[in-house]
C-alpha cells in the first residue's frame, strides 16, 4: 500500500496524491475529495522513511540520557519531565526516539552521529552528573537541542533548569522563620551537577542570615541512595557531638536515609530535628512523617522544553535559557 496504489485507484498521478497529502493548493476540489476518500478507505499512511528521505525531516525528537544516569529512564524526576515532554511534543506532531546507549560495538557514544543517522528534527538531553564529553558535539551542532539540568551553549541549543540557588535560599529562609539557627546540610561527595549548586547556595544563604555552617554538620554521602543518607546520619550521631536542629538534604532519597537513622535512635522528626529534602518525588507523600521538600515543577519543565524545542525547530529562533521556579512543599517533617 503505497502512493502509487492510491494514485492508480484514483486515476491520478502520484504527484497529485502527494500534493493532496501535503496540502498544496494546485489540486482541484473534486479530485482532492476523491483521493482523500480513497486514502481514508484504504487506511493509507505515507511511509515515514520515504518522506524523511525526501524532505530531510523526520518528525522525530531524539532523547539522550547523559551522564551518571546513563540510559536510566528510571529516575524519579527525569521520568516525570520526559513524560510531560512526550505529551506536549506529541501534540505538536512529533514522536520520541529513545537512544539506546548500551551498544558496546561503538567505542564512544557518538550522539551526534546517531541524531544524523535518524535525521531527528531536534533533541532533548537529560543530564545527570559527569556528562560525557561527546554531548558537547551535539551542543555545538546545527541540530536544535534543549538540555535539562545541563547548561548548553551552542547556537542551536538552549537549556532549562530549576533555579537551584533559589531552592536553597527558600529552605534556609523557611528554617530561619521557624526559629532554627542550628542548621546542617546533607550533600554529595562530588563537585558537579545541580546538587553541588544547591550546596554552595545553601551555605551562601546561611551567611546572608548571619549564620555559618559548622563543618561537622556538613554531612557527605557517596551517592544519592537512601543508604548513603542513612550512613552519613549514623556517623554524625555516633560522633557524639551536638546535632543540628534542622537539616537540608539535597535530595529526597538522602533525606529518607537520614530520617531512618534518626528514628532508629529515637529522635523525633521534626521535634528533635526538622528535615527538608529536595525534588518532591512521589515517596515524600508516603513517608512518615511526609517529607517537607522543594517541588520541582516537572510537568511544567517538560512542557516548556517541548514548546521551546518546537520553536527552535520551526522558527530557528535563538532563545535564552529558561529557569523554572520551584516551590517549597511544607509537610510534616520540618
Q: Which residues bind DNA (CB under 7 A)?
A: 2-4, 11-19, 21-22, 26-32, 46-47, 50-51, 53-56
Looking up cell 511544607 gives 330
Residue 101: CB minimum distance to DNA, A: 22
Phi-psi category of residue 11: left, alpha or beta, with phi > 0 → left and psi -120 to 50 → alpha: left
User: What does 21 bind: its own copies, DNA, none (CB cut-off 5 to 8 Å by kind)?
Assistant: DNA
Cell of 43: 487506511
254 interacts with its own copies by CB under 8 A: no
User: What does 207 bind: its own copies, DNA, none (CB cut-off 5 to 8 Å by kind)?
Assistant: none
Nearer Cβ to its own copies, position 31 or 52? 52
User: What does 27 bind: DNA, its own copies, none (CB cut-off 5 to 8 Å by kind)?
Assistant: DNA
- What track of x and - describes contact with its own copies for positions 75 through 94 (by CB under 8 A)? -x--xx-xx--xxxxxx-xx
User: What does 101 bind: DNA, its own copies, none (CB cut-off 5 to 8 Å by kind)?
Assistant: its own copies
User: What does 208 bind: DNA, its own copies, none (CB cut-off 5 to 8 Å by kind)?
Assistant: none
297 interacts with its own copies by CB under 8 A: no
Distance CA 330, CA 247 (A): 14
CA proximity to 251, closest of 79, 124, 75, 127:
75
Let me know: does 115 contact 142? Beta carbons within 8 Å.
Answer: no
Distance CA 189, CA 265 (A): 25
User: What does 102 bind: its own copies, DNA, none (CB cut-off 5 to 8 Å by kind)?
Assistant: its own copies
Looking up cell 557514544 gives 109
Task: Specify the 3-state DSSP secondary structure of 294.
Answer: strand
Helix H or strand E segment including 63: strand 60-66
Rg of the chain over CA atoms, in angstroms? Answer: 26
14 interacts with its own copies by CB under 8 A: no
Nearer Cβ to DNA, position 29 or 282? 29
For the purposes of burial, counting CB atoms within 10 Å of the CB of 210, is it exposed (0-12), middle (13-18) or buried (19 or more)?
exposed
Give the residues lining the site for its own copies (CB under 8 A).
43, 45-50, 52-53, 58, 60, 71-74, 76, 79-80, 82-83, 86-91, 93-105, 110, 113-114, 116-119, 226, 253, 256, 260, 263, 282-283, 285-288
Amino acid at each position: 500500500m503505497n502512493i502509487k496504489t492510491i494514485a492508480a485507484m484514483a486515476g491520478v498521478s502520484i504527484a497529485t496524491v502527494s500534493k493532496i497529502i501535503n496540502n498544496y493548493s494546485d489540486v482541484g476540489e473534486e479530485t482532492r475529495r476523491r483521493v482523500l476518500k480513497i486514502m481514508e478507505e484504504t487506511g493509507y499512511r505515507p511511509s515515514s522513511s520515504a518522506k524523511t528521505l525526501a524532505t530531510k525531516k523526520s518528525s522525530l525528537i531524539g532523547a539522550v540520557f547523559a551522564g551518571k544516569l546513563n540510559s536510566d529512564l528510571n529516575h524519579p524526576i527525569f521520568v516525570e519531565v520526559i513524560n510531560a515532554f512526550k505529551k506536549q511534543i506529541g501534540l505538536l506532531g512529533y514522536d520520541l526516539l529513545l537512544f539506546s546507549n548500551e551498544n558496546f560495538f561503538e567505542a564512544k557514544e557518538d550522539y551526534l552521529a546517531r541524531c544524523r543517522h535518524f535525521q531527528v528534527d531536534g533533541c532533548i538531553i537529560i543530564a545527570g552528573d559527569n556528562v560525557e564529553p561527546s554531548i558537547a558535539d551535539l551542543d555545538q551542532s546545527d541540530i536544535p537541542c534543549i538540555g535539562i539540568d545541563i547548561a548548553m551553549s551552542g547556537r542551536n541549543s538552549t537549556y532549562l533548569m530549576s533555579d537551584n540557588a533559589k531552592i536553597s535560599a527558600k529552605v534556609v529562609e523557611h528554617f530561619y522563620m521557624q526559629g532554627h539557627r542550628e542548621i546542617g546540610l546533607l550533600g554529595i561527595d562530588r563537585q558537579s551537577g545541580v546538587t553541588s549548586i544547591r550546596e554552595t547556595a545553601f551555605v551562601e544563604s546561611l551567611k546572608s542570615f548571619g549564620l555559618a555552617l559548622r563543618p561537622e554538620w556538613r554531612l557527605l554521602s557517596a551517592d544519592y541512595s537512601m543508604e548513603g543518607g542513612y550512613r552519613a546520619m549514623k556517623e554524625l550521631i555516633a560522633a557524639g557531638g551536638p546535632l543540628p536542629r534542622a537539616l537540608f538534604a539535597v535530595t529526597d532519597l538522602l533525606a529518607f536515609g537520614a530520617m531512618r537513622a534518626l528514628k532508629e535512635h529515637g529522635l523525633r522528626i521534626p521535634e528533635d530535628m526538622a528535615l527538608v529534602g529536595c525534588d518532591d518525588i512521589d515517596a515524600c507523600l508516603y513517608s512518615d512523617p511526609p517529607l517537607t521538600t522543594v517541588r520541582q515543577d516537572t510537568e511544567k519543565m517538560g512542557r516548556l522544553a517541548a514548546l521551546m524545542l518546537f520553536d527552535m525547530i520551526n522558527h530557528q529562533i535563538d532563545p535564552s535559557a529558561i529557569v523554572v521556579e520551584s516551590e517549597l512543599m511544607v509537610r510534616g517533617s520540618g
